[in-house]
Amino acid sequence: MAKFYLSFAVLLSIAPPVLSQWNNASTHGFPTPSGYSTATFNVSAQPTASTMRTDFSNDALNELWNLVGPVATGAVTTTVEPTPEPSIYPQPDADHFHPLVSSRYPELKGKKLPPGFKWGLASSAYQIEGAARAEGKGPSIWDLLSHRVPNFVRDNTTGDVVGSHYWLYKQDIERLKSLGIPRFSPSISWPRIFPFGHGPVNAEGVAHYDSVISSMHAAGVRPSVTLFHWDTPLALFTEYGAWTSPRIVDDFFNYAKFVISRYDEGRITFKNSGNYFEADSTRPEDEIARQRNFDFSIGWFGGPWTDGDYPKSLKDTLGDLLPTLTDEEKQLIKGSCDFYAIDPYSSFTAHAISGDLEACTSHRSHPSFPECARSSSTAPNGFPIGPAADPSMSWLYSAPSGLRKFLKHITTTLFPSVPSIVVTEFGTAEPFESRLSSTNQILWDLRRADYFQSYLDEILLSIYEDGVNVEGAWGWAIFDNFEWGEGLGTRFGLQYVNYTSLERTPKASMFQFLNWFSYPLSCGYLIQTFVLADENPPHRPSPTASADPAIPTSQASSSPESSALDTSQRTTQTPFLEPTDAATADTIVDNTAKRSYTSSEDSDSPGDPESEHTRGRSSRRPSKRRRIAHETMRSGEASKKSASPSFNYTNGSTRSPGLRESMGKVSNGDSLPSSQSNGSYTNGTSAANHSTLPATFFGHDREEVTRILIQGLGDLGYQRAAQALSSESGYQLEGPTVAAFRNAVLEGDWVAAEHLLFGSKESDDGGGVELTVNHKTKGKTPRSRYFGSQPSRGLPLAEGADREEMLFKMREQKYLELLESQDTSSALKVLRQELTPLVPDAVKRLSQLSSFMMCRSPEDLRTSARWDGAQGTSRSKLLSELTESISPSIMIPEHRLAHLLDDLKSQWLDNCLYHNTAASPTLYARHICYREDVPTVPVLELRDHKDEVWHLQYSPDGTMLASGSKDQSVVIYSTANYKPLFHLKEHEGGITFVAWSYDSKKLITCSKEDDNSAKLWDVKTGNCLKTFEFTYPCTAAAFTPDNRYVVIGSHDKQKPIAVWDLQESKMHQWSEEMRVNDLTITRDGKRLIAVTARRVHVYDFETTEKVYEIPAEDDGEFAYVAVGHDPKLMLLGSYPGRIELRNVDNGEPMMLYDGHKQEGNVCRADFGGDRGTFVVSGSEDGYIYLWRSNGRFVERLEAHPSGCVNAVAWSPTDPKVFASAGDDQCIRVWRPAPRDEEGSSSVRARPAGGSLRPL
């Protein structure tokens, strides 16, 4: 099973050679196809000083393994001859104790599968073989990911040993034979055949697979082989980025041709990993969502194969992100597979997204782009669609009826031209199986048994009732395996594997599976005598979009492990070779990929039960990386091993090649001895003292730590110390290419900068409009001192880097510098020829740049562009921005040590419940704060109002507190002693809102019925300066940061929002008809946020254009909005009882706070504490609820017991003070509880009452 990632596999049916009898005593010599050479590799050989990265020697292979680090070896390190299998295996005993699962379709009794129906079990090389570095095998990308990327695999295990099928294959095959399983679908490891992905064939690897296939035929077990199942040769990533480059096509073809030629040809196809979607309702919108889900999962591949092109929805949505197939390519692809293969693990209900579909499909920044459709595992009636698998597979539910519907839908609606269909993988992960310690508990996997019984029943019904030509079915998996990102903690096997003894034991599901195919094909009517074989759980790809950049997937979509034909868009899986009874073979190219069914609009993903009650969880969707044209998808090449070589791992991500301890630790085996640990590597230079120093520093990569310290010493001003550390360690901060790029940017040599960053071709002599440092030389610049005549591959980019954006920023700087030097002709060429092609649709951005040509002087330009010129800091700032997009192992981000310390302190503060000070924590000791640092005790009661107090707010300078009451008055207090300064009584209606100017000199107040006005006050004199009249209640107001204007909102539909200057002149009025309940302006003055009952409207305040809207939940209404010190964050309060933290820029939900009560009254929340690290809210139950802004619930405070707490305001200058207003006519001022003599509180209150849950 494959999780998260797109893939394709070729399924081949390998026929038994006609010249062999294929009995237990016979062997067969497979021919080596013409055009291939073989070699023997010694992966334990020590590298020599002249190691070259471009050859195919043992040294070169060792250098690849250096990237992975030490690998583990298990108890078995040589091929084991099989021992006799038992004649009968322990199995469920229906007569005495508990039976297997029965069919729910009695009418199927006696029904037989069609002649030639193929069935068996499946798995893949990396998931079960082990022997990671044995017999000349090269490393795969999964060797690197599991060893080098912390927590990339949930339990930090690896595929180093796993079930050791590589050494135990003969016994596993004997088990299959003994159990009566006629077919097995393994995969062949590409890097075991071609350690470098191409070049010479590894003779030992080929001999191994020769023996595997011979043993299978001798045992009467037919192989159906997958050619690629995730294990891309690492060498191809380091060479050119593997699946990010078209070069992969030739290398994969070369590999596939070798395997197919050697083991006989056969039927071939792609394996598609996709799941069934059923519309959640009869609404047309849900039907459209259903089709879009199909299109963006299996349509990628099924469309080109059956119709010759991609589905229309993909082309309309993705535009230039989707490759355009030529007529020749279409004809080549169409009809090129022999049958359709699908891995249909589960089903989903499809839902339309909230809002307008076109708004999603036409905006690539939309959170639901590109699918623009939702899905969930909940039926229309609200109940789960079926029994859930292990929580690690949150997408996987047993939905057998969906399988039958899916098979019919594929063959009659989606792709009616397919001649036949094969279910190439199906299976499930028994919940919590890996946590069980008793074998007795493990073997009774009833949920998996029920899954196989039900799914097989539905396949038979599909054949008999629906007339679908289903030709075969393979269960996943032969035995427990390495489940990709879940490691060994998720089990799909029909056999239990003891990872210490490597013993396999058939589970109840194995007997269920075999029982179904017995009797004859008894469909669940139990028989008593049966021998079962050893099987692995299918590595099922999760329908979750690949958010992980480590595996190249289609950046435009994420879909379940599907079969499809398009290899340009997705990562491929090894061809799947399947032996048939005839002298032909079936080949399936497996495009298995998991689709993301977790979006910001889905709510069916189970969370951690403990954290569910204790802290919030981020609801941000993983950002989708856009697909870039193939020439920019290269990871880049490592420069020659000089001072700072880099190696591409995945999609441009690089990591320093120095040795690091494997994250997988021993991975159910023992680490290789030190003599096989790949040696020491130090940026191409051997350090004299490395032989005595470990490769890690307290578990951290020694090279990484050293280089960061070198940079940090330089930042501290200790240059000689930095040089001494570099000299002694042998590590350099950065290589010559990086240094040249840095200098090129700082000197304004933009042609050189582009070449060094993105690479060049041998015939390229520069290009574009250029200027020298003195801005006098223009035109094409010849190759400078930064690069010679040889082609350059450029610097590797960081994961997710946007090449076009980086290029745009450099050319924008060049354009501005040309304008500054008053060379408008050259600047215009840059604008037209270099900038516009990069962002042809960014009209506003290009328009702004073109407007700078009208500037009358360099000074005018610098002012208009908010840019300090070529001689200012602009180049340094640009370099800083570009550095963030360059692989950090090649060009360490600036001030990395300081940022790491900042991150450490931020983590401390995030985990500290009571931190409430601007003081930076010391690095010397553990950080601890106490409850006494947070205001939790009311110390003052202010009773100057005669009725309910509805609103209050501190002045920005913290010297005053203003409150508004139902008694129609406003009180302004001095915070020095909380004595009233003014009691303002000119309103004739209740005061709903008070707002201060940023200079704390003016106050505006809003009132409701009988008055319907806003009043502007001079707080120095207490005089009313202006009155703004409305027809309906005035609800909210906000000053602009420059104190020149005020924005007022009301229920008056004719003027719901208007901007006024302070002389009552209306400057602008929004024309939309709405009833505004609340509004605010962010501190930077960029966004105006207005709240109505059903929508939140966010405007660009400078242009007055609407940026986006947020609709209310079906059962809710918005009540208020609050912003704090951070202009990127806002709090949205709504009924019933919801406070949401959202991103101001895009409206993305980030956190949900609840537990308080707000059903009919406005109970406002606010940011508070130092830097807005708290969220505090009133409540209808008379309590104040306090959370950390990161989601952790702090405390519930009894505040105004006789009614609602209507508002809470935190002092902007004193983080240890806030005030609350209630229905009890009272204002309470809160401070921390007093400490005892020893400096700690004598009372330690426990947070109680409130709750929080992530969105």
pLDDT in tens, 1074-1094: 999 999 999 999 999 999 999
Q: Which pLDDT score is estimated for 391?
A: 95
Q: Which pLDDT score, from 0 to 100, does residue 809 have? A: 93
Instruction: Give dist(CA 659, CA 613) in Å, integer.
Output: 41
Between CA 629 and CA 117 the distance in angstroms is 43
Give the SS3 label for residue 178. helix
Please give the Cα distance from 1229 to 1235 (Å, whole number). Answer: 18
* Stretch 748-776: mean pLDDT: 62
Q: Which residue has the higher pLDDT, 853 or 177?
A: 177
Burial state string for 340-365 with b = 16 or more CB within 10 A and e = fewer than 16: bbbbbbbbbbbbbbebebeebbeeee
Residues 6+ apart with CB under 8 A from 229: 2, 7, 9, 124, 125, 126, 127, 187, 539, 573, 574, 590
Confidence of residue 792 (pLDDT cuts 50, 70, 90): low
Residue 544 and residue 862: Cα distance in Å, rounded? 47
The DSSP secondary structure of 285-333, one letter per residue, reads HHHHHHHHHHIIIIIHHHHHHHHSS--HHHHHHHGGGSPPPPHHHHHHH
233-237 average pLDDT score: 94
pLDDT of 1114 > 60? The answer is yes
Q: Cβ(183)–Cβ(226) under 8 Å?
A: no
Residue 1039 near residue 1046, CB atoms below 8 Å = yes
Q: What is the dihedral of CA 57, 59, 61, 64, to 10 degrees?
A: -140
Give 234's pLDDT tier (boundaries 50, 70, 90): very high
Measure the CA–CA gap between 38 and 30, rounded to whole angstroms: 14
Question: Which range has the worst mean pLDDT, 673-682, 776-785, 1125-1134?
Answer: 673-682
| Total Cβ atoms within 10 A of residue 719 | 10
Res. 789: pLDDT tops 70: no
Instruction: Give the mean model confidence (pLDDT) for residues 407-431.
Output: 96
Cα-Cα end-to-end distance for the chain: 30
Helix, strand or coil, per DSSP, at residue 693:
coil
- Asked whether residue 925 carries a pLDDT value surpassing 90, the answer given is no
Six-digit token pair at 268? 């071939």
**pLDDT band per the 50, 70, 90 thresholds, residue 1205:** very high
DSSP 824-890: HHHHHHIIIIIITTTSTT-HHHHHHHHHGGG-SSHHHHHHHHT---TTTTHHHHHHHHHHTTB-TTT
Residue 733, pLDDT score: 84
952, 1248 contact by CB (below 8 A): no
Which pLDDT value is given to residue 161?
97
Q: Are strands 1002-1007 and 991-996 parallel, antiparallel or unpaired?
A: antiparallel
Cα gap 708→714, rounded to integer Å = 10
Q: Check if the beta carbon of residue 887 is closer than 8 Å to that of residue 646.
A: yes
Q: Which of 476-490, 763-777, 1220-1234 has the lowest mean pLDDT?
A: 763-777
pLDDT in tens, 114-160: 999 999 999 999 999 999 999 999 999 999 999 998 889 999 999 99
Please confirm whether the linkage preceding 380 is cis (ω < 30° from 0): no
Mean pLDDT of 400-423: 96
- Residue written as token pair 């060429």: 829
Count Cβ atoms below 10 Å from residue 112 Cβ, excluding itself: 13
What's the rounded mean pLDDT across residues 905-933?
Answer: 86
Say which residue the tokens 């589905």 belong to.
Answer: 311
In 3D, which of 727, 724, 770 has the Cα closest to residue 747?
770
Name the residue with tokens 């309906």. Answer: 1032
Alpha-carbon gap, residue 876 to 879, rounded angstroms: 5
Q: What is the DSSP letter of 992?
A: E
Edge-first strand listing for the sheet containing 1087-1091? 1078-1081, 1087-1091, 1095-1100, 1106-1111
What one-letter code names the amino acid at 493? G
- Band of the pLDDT at 750, cuts 50, 70, 90? very high
Band of pLDDT at residue 759, cut at 50, 70 and 90:
confident
Task: Report the candidate in 359, 347, 362, 465 with the shortest Cα–Cα distance to residue 408.
Answer: 465
Rg (CA), the chain: 34
Q: How high is the pLDDT of residue 1160?
A: 85
96 has a pLDDT exceeding 90: no
Q: How far is CA 1062 from the centre of its chain?
A: 48
Would you say residue 807 has pLDDT above 50?
yes
Other CB atoms within 10 A of residue 498 CB: 14
Residue 150's CB is within 10 A of a number of other CB atoms, namely 9
**1009 versus 1251: which is more confidently predicted?**
1009
**Per-residue pLDDT for 202 more than 80?**
yes
Judge whether residue 35 has pLDDT over 80: no
Write the CB contacts of 674 (distance below 8 Å, at least 6 apart in sequence).
none
pLDDT, one tens digit per residue, over 253-291 is 999 999 999 987 688 998 999 999 999 999 999 999 999
Better pLDDT: 594 or 1217: 1217
Given a cut of 50, whether residue 547 has pLDDT beyond it is: no
Which residues have C-beta within 8 Å of that of residue 513, sequence separation ≥ 6? 121, 452, 456, 475, 494, 535
The pLDDT assigned to 1252 comes to 32
pLDDT at 345 over 60: yes
Single-letter amino acid code for the residue at 1180? E
CA distance 971 to 961: 8
Q: What is the pLDDT of residues 930-956, one digit of tens each?
A: 899 999 999 999 999 999 999 999 999
Q: Which of 578, 623, 614, 575 is nearest to 596 (CA)?
A: 623
Percent of the chain with pLDDT over 90: 58
Domains in the chain, please, with CATH?
1-607 (3.20.20.80), 736-883 (no CATH), 945-1253 (2.130.10.10)
Residue 43, CB half-sphere, CA atoms under 13 Å: how many? 27
What 3-state DSSP class applies to 743? helix
At 51 the pLDDT is: 36
Sheet holding 1218-1222, edge to edge: 935-942, 1227-1232, 1218-1222, 1205-1210
Closest Cα partner for 1185 from 1214, 1215, 1163?
1163
- pLDDT above 60 for 352: yes
Tell me the pLDDT of the chain averaged across its residues: 80
Torsion sign over Cα 464, 470, 471, 475: negative
Q: Which of 29-38, 187-196, 645-654, 960-969 has the lowest mean pLDDT?
A: 645-654
For residue 760, what pLDDT is reported?
A: 62
Percent of the chain past pLDDT 70, that is, above it, reads 78
Q: Is 1214 exposed, middle or buried (0-12, 13-18, 19+ CB in 10 A)?
A: middle
The 3-state secondary structure of 62-131 reads: HHHHHHHCCCEECCCCCCCCCCCCCCCCCCCCCCCCCCCCCCCCHHHCCCCCCCCCEEEEECCHHHHCCC
| From 466-480, 598-612, 861-875, the region with the lowest mean pLDDT | 598-612
Q: Is the pLDDT of residue 855 over 80?
A: yes
Please say if the pLDDT value at position 632 is more than 60.
no
Tell me, what's the pLDDT at 265? 67
The C-alpha atoms of residue 1198 and residue 1245 are separated, in whole angstroms, by 12
Which band of pLDDT confidence, cut at 50, 70 and 90, is reported for residue 41? Answer: low
Give CA–CA dist 1251/1047, Å, rounded.
35
What is the pLDDT averaged over residues 1182-1199?
A: 93
